Structure 1
Amino acid sequence: MHSEHEIIKNLVSRYVSDNATNDDVYVEGKNMYKIDGFQLSYEFNFLESYDIGWRSVIGVISDILSKGGSPKFFLASLGLNKNRLKEIENILKGISDAINYYKGSYVGGDTNSSDNNGWIDIVGIGEAVCYKSVDNIKRGDKVIITSPIGYNSIIFISYVNNWKISIPLKYKLKYKHPIVNPHLQDIFSQNCDNIHYSLDISDGLIVSLYNLVERSKLGIEITKMPVSEEVLNIANNYKIRLLDLLKFSGEEYESIFVVDKDSYHKIINQMKLLGLNPVVFGEISDRQGVYFNGELIRKTGWDNFLGWF
C-alpha cells in the first residue's frame, strides 16, 4: 500500500508546477499559500464542534507562522453529513474565532453534503516575512524547538489502548484549543539573517525532521530529546518507551528553527521573553538521517493512509 508521503513524493510531484518546492507552503513573491484539512472522523469524545473549527484553522496558521509568514486571508470548505447540520454554526464560530485571534480575515469558502463523516479544508494566504528554503541550511547549525512536546502522545497512546491511560485535563485542553504563539512573526522579522530554515512539527517530530533531512540531503544529530519532563514522568509510570512517544506524536503546533550556530543564544533569549520555552535539541551534520546518541532513528509517526507506522 502506498503511503501518504510516497504519493506526495512520487505522484503529486509529477503534476504540480515546475517551481513548486514540495515544502509545507508555497511562496510566490511576497505571498504565501497553504491548504490543510481532515476528515471529521478524526475526533475524540472530549472534542466539541467549536473545537473542530478552531483546530482546522490552527493547522494552517501553524504552517504559515512557522515558515516565516504573517497570516492574512482564509477560506473554508466544509462537507457535512445531513445528520450533523446542527453542528455547523459552532464549527463556523470556531473557524471564525481562530482567524480573528490571529487578526486574519475569513473571506469565504463553500459547503457540501457528505454521505460519510465529512471534512474540513482550510486555505490560508499570508505575507512572506522571512521564508527560507532548505538550501540555506549549513553544517553546524543549531536546531531549536519553540517548546517541549509529548502531550498529544499521551492522548494518542491512551486512545489506541482503549483509554486505559489517565489523561490530565491540561493535555485535553491543549488538544482542544491549540495556540501558536503569534509573536513568532517578531522572531522572524528581527532575526531573519540568522534563521536558515524553519518548519512546524504537526506531522510529528520524527516525520518532520526526516522531511528536513530528505530535502536538504543533510542530517540531524539530536543531543537532547525535546519531550516535556511531566510527559516523561507519565510515560515512566505506564512503562511507555521514548520511541513510542515519538511514534505517536503529532498535531502539536510547535516550530523548529534551524539557526546560525553563533547566533542561537540571542534567538533563544528572545523566544523566552515572548513566552516560549525553547529547547536547543540538535545540530545539523553531514551524516544524512536523524540520529540520537549516535544511533539512527527510523522514520516513524502518522500517515493518513497507513495510520501510525
Structure 2
Amino acid sequence: MSEHEIIRNIISKYSYVNDDVYVDENKNMYKIDGFQLGYTFNFMDFYDIGWKSVVASISDILSRGGIPTFVLSSIGIRKEDVQKIEDIIKGIKDASDYYNASYIGGDLNSSKNGWIDVTVIGKAICYKKAENVKEGDRLIISNPIGYTSLVFLSYLNNWKISISNIEKNKIRHPIVNKRLSELFATYCDSIHYSTDISDGLVISLYNVIERSKKGIKMYSFPFPPYILGKIRKYELKEEDLLKYSGEEYETILVVDRTQAESILDFMNYLGFSPQIIGEIISNPTLEYNNQFIKKTGWDNFTGWF
C-alpha cells in the first residue's frame, strides 16, 4: 500500500482526526512531521536538517491559522554522526526562535540510517474545517512555486539541470512568512479553509477536495517565468513540475469570492506574492483547461507517482 492508502485505510480507523493538525477544545494545535536524514542533498548540512525539520511542522500550524508555541524533537542518529548532533539542535533552536516558539527538548536514539521527527504545539487563532468550503470560493496561493521541483528534477537527471542558490535555499533553509497570523486575524471570517502544500500542490488540492467533498477548477498554476524558462530549456513540461513537487512550505487559502481581491491586496502588503489560482466547484474533481488532473506527487512508500 502507498502512504496515502495506509493513512486512509488503516490509521483513520484508529484516529478520529482527518486533517493536517489536531485542535482541542482549548484551541491548542498539535502537529508532528519528520523524515529520514538520508532524504537530503549534498548541499545540506546538519544545521539545515534541524532548521527544516521545524519548518515542516510549523508550516502546518501557521497555514491552518495558528501560532506556534512549543517545539519538541525526536532524533535517531548514526553513532558515527553523534559529534554532529549539536548542529542539528542549533538548527532546531534557531528555527524555533525565529517563529517565537520555545524549544523544550525531546528524545534521542541511535539509528543505523537516521531520522528526525518534530512536534509543534500551537494556539489556534482562525482554524477552519473543510466543511466551511463553498461553491464559488476562490483559491489563493501565498507565493509562486516550482523551485524545489527543479531540484528534484535535476537530481533525477544526474544534476544535468543547472540549479542556483535560489532553488537550493528553498530546499535547505525554507522560510514561512510569519505574517500569516496577521492575515488570519484580519480576514478570519472570509477564510473558509486553508492548508500548506508541503506534500506537493496536486496532493494538497486533492486533500481539499476529499475533505470538502467539492471540486476545484484551476485558472492557472503558480509557476514563475523564471522556473518556466528553465524547464523549457531542458525540454520539460509543467506536468513535470507538478509531479516532482513538494517541500515548498506555501499556503493555499480557500476564501469568500467577494473578499478575494481584498485578501490579495493585504497579502501583498504583508510581503507575499499571492495569486488567485482557481475556484471551488460542485463536482469533486480537479479540472484545468476542461481536463481532469489525476493525483500525482511523492509517496514515502511507493515513490513518485
Q: Which residue of 1 aligns with 2:179?
A: 183
Report the count of equivalent residues. Answer: 304
For structure 2, the 5+ residue unaligned runs are none
d(CA) in 1 for partners of 2:91, 2:165: 20
* Aligned position for 1:220: 216
Tell me, in whole angstroms, the C-alpha distance in 2 between the residues paired with 1:126 and 1:118. Answer: 27
Please state whether the residue corresponding to 1:262 is helix, strand or coil.
Answer: helix
DSSP 3-state at the match of 2:245: coil
Alpha-carbon offset, residue 169 of structure 1: 1.6
- 1:281 correspondence with 2:277: yes
Which secondary structure state, in structure 2, belongs to the residue aligned with residue 34 of structure 1? strand
* Mapped pair 1:84 → 2:93: no
| SS class of match (2:257) | coil
CA displacement at 1:229 relative to structure 2: 1.3
**What is the alpha-carbon distance in structure 2 between the residues aligned to residue 59 and residue 241 of structure 1?**
27
1:208-245 Cα offsets, whole Å, 9 max, x none, are 00011011111000001111210000011001111111
Residues 1:6 and 2:5 are matched in the alignment: yes
Per the alignment, residue 235 of structure 1 pairs with 231
Structure 1 residue 21, shift from structure 2 partner: 2.9
Query: What one-letter code is carried by the residue in structure 2 that aligns with 1:53?
Result: G
Q: Does 1:34 align with 2:37?
A: no
Of 167-176 and 36-45, the range deviating more from structure 2: 167-176
2:107 is aligned, of 98, 110, 118, to 110
Q: Once superposed, what is the RMSD of the aligned Cα atoms?
A: 0.7
- Give the TM-score normalised by the residue count of structure 2: 0.99
Once the two structures are TM-superposed, the CA of residue 287 in structure 1 deviates from its matched residue by 1.6
Q: Please list the CA deviations of residues 170-190 of structure 1 after superposition, one character each: whole Å capped at 9, or x if unmatched.
A: 111222111000000000011
Aligned to 2:288: 292
Q: 2:97 aligns with which of 97, 100, 110?
A: 100
Q: Percent of aligned pairs with the same residue?
A: 56
One-letter amino acid matched to 1:124: V
1:205 matched to 2:201 = yes
Q: Which residue of 2 aligns with 1:245?
A: 241
Q: 2:45 matched to which residue of 1?
A: 48
The two structures have a TM-score, normalised by structure 1, of 0.97
What amino acid maps onto 1:173 in structure 2? N
Runs of 4 or more, structure 1, over 2 Å off, are none
Give ranges in structure 1 of 5+ residues lacking alignment.
none
For 2:165 and 2:107, how far apart are their aligned partners in 1? Answer: 35
The residue aligned with 1:256 is 252
The one of 181, 189, 200 aligned to 1:193 = 189
* Residue 157 of structure 1: aligned partner: 153
Does the alignment pair 1:15 with 2:11? no
